[in-house]
Structure 1
């Protein structure tokens, strides 16, 4: 593994699922890693004594500027920033724009004002920025395709991408992963939990091509770009394979010892109604729900193929975790931690 010496790197959203693995990946590569967290953030997966912390409040641009000013005075800036902070579940659709687009824009504007623009700004976007395209021919989504996001989450990510790409003096690189899974992840865990309770729900009857990426393969891809100092590029990330709608749940079932299972294929119309009800209940309870109208559109999408050839050819990316291996490791972790 290439050692990058004392490169100073900031990982925002470091207390989250992907962020915590990015912190570990930087430490493994010999970097000075700063974990960007909120004061209230859990540090459960940030226990390594080599981690340095930077408290950053993306909800308040004035406070954020004071925090960054203080950091610059005491520690100078960073060579690279991996911006992983953002929102994936919200009570109101407008909150996606606030938590993803506006928070990122304010962050970059402050970095520019304080002369703290790094040599490389890595933005973690999503395959969802392209929306439901190639739904008839099932061709891989590629960089020449026109984004057509149909979710508030995807729209907010696309707006952020457009802003970042419009800045002449920001050395950006963008990653658009497909479904990311692995230890510590909670949304796919709900599927494993449901299967352990003998129920599996499939969305719709029509063919659905799914793609996935194990979290450490995503980390590998990002650090390849950091090591090669790539800028001005956007990459899709998956494990390079395509799976049917049942493959993931079948692998989970295998790792759980083949429990008896009731598999219910839910018509999309019914799923839409259930998602709407779940979203309204979440609003009444003032707590975001995993199932909501935005999530329904993601579950409805039939084609999640994406072209990772540029990532392989330009950066030398070689995914180490096909789905079978990744699910095995994930379920093993869930069991070890008492989640299952």
Structure 2
């Protein structure tokens, strides 16, 4: 038995591979295009593991995907592949449409052709699991209940709109063609191997390098934070026991304002890696112009997955973020390798620092 996983050189995907191989003997075929956020060093721990087969390629390459399906005969396809950064989607939405919408369409079509030819017993056991985001639901007011699976889609950025479109395609391929699909919508992930354009790794790295810690607007945007290993365990559970055609929201039950996240990171760094001058990293906090259409609050109601599948997160924000800071402190070589000149130019342009 084998699974085919797309986008596994990225942040969440690489963590999924590590967790999967630690818990299963079942091989993983890993298809990744290796865009700027796809990094083979994320997979260095498993590069010699015969259960992990890496293939460089695009989910939109129907010939390649079809060949992999035919050769390896996976029992499941898990789609992590996506352009995922809101700020980048504002500056260049075209790549998000191409990967998240057109790429998902092409992947669905090739998988549908493969699935339709399987013997009945294998056909009944096959799964297509699509990994998505809570941002498809839009934004919440302070007093609104968290997003449930029944919430209407109201995406507000090019990124979230492209993910919403991909979710709709997955749903349609189930209801129209009978493709056995599962969809997960997660809250903000954090943890090891997180590309340093996102808030938590950016703050850690900038703090250690004496740079400003950029905070959009007033810093009171609220997110629900989910430790990446918890997310991966939830995906494994959905793949194992999820009901076909269903959506499962995966959250950490950790709503935090961005400024509070940054202050927490600064306090942990003050303890674990004090500044040479003895002052707090919090002095490096710098408020910058808010981004266009910045959603004010996301929050996930994760009761369905707990009620139906018995899953809930193992980490609190306090335990997970401490693990994350320690990982970055212990993996400075990884940080240096991902900070290419192109990445630094983009940070400078986006935050006007």
Shorter-chain TM-score range: 0.7 to 0.9
8 Å Cα contact 1:195/1:249 also seen in 2? no
Offset of residue 85 of structure 1: 0.6
Task: Please name the residue that 1:226 is paired with.
Answer: 239
Offset of residue 93 of structure 1: 1.2
* Distance of aligned partners of 1:18 and 1:316 in 2 relative to their CA distance in 1, 3 Å threshold: same
Cα separation, 2, equivalents of 1:38 and 1:28: 24
Residues 166-223 of structure 1: per-residue CA shift (max 9 Å, x gap):
1231111111111111011022211222333264443334854321101100001000
Determine which of 228, 246, 251 is the counterpart of 2:264.
Answer: 251
Residue correspondence of structure 1 range 79-228 to structure 2 within 5 A = 79-88=75-84, 89-90=88-89, 91-114=91-114, 115=117, 119-132=126-139, 134-167=140-173, 168=175, 169-186=178-195, 187=198, 188-196=200-208, 197=210, 199-205=212-218, 207-228=220-241
Cα separation, 2, equivalents of 1:26 and 1:262: 40
Residue aligned with 1:55, SS? strand
After TM superposition, the structure 1 stretch with the greater mean CA deviation from structure 2, 231-240 or 203-212, is 203-212
Task: Please name the residue that 2:67 is paired with.
Answer: 70
Offset of residue 44 of structure 1: 1.9
Task: Please name the residue that 1:36 is paired with.
Answer: 31
Residues 257-287 of structure 1: per-residue CA shift (max 9 Å, x gap):
25523365747xx334xxxxxxxxxxxxxxx
* Distance of aligned partners of 1:34 and 1:265 in 2 relative to their CA distance in 1, 3 Å threshold: same
Residue aligned with 1:138, SS? coil
TM-score, normalised with respect to structure 1: 0.80
8 Å Cα contact 1:15/1:43 also seen in 2? yes
Runs of 4+ in 1 over 6 A off after TM superposition: none
8 Å Cα contact 1:11/1:22 also seen in 2? no
Q: CA RMSD in A?
A: 2.5
Offset of residue 125 of structure 1: 0.7
Residue aligned with 2:258, SS? coil
Task: Please name the residue that 2:349 is paired with.
Answer: none
Higher helix share: 2
* Structure 2 residues without counterparts, runs of 5 or longer: 272-278, 337-353
Cα separation, 2, equivalents of 1:12 and 1:38: 9
Offset of residue 33 of structure 1: 1.6
Cα separation, 2, equivalents of 1:322 and 1:73: 42
Cα separation, 1, equivalents of 2:34 and 2:248: 32
Cα separation, 2, equivalents of 1:178 and 1:52: 27
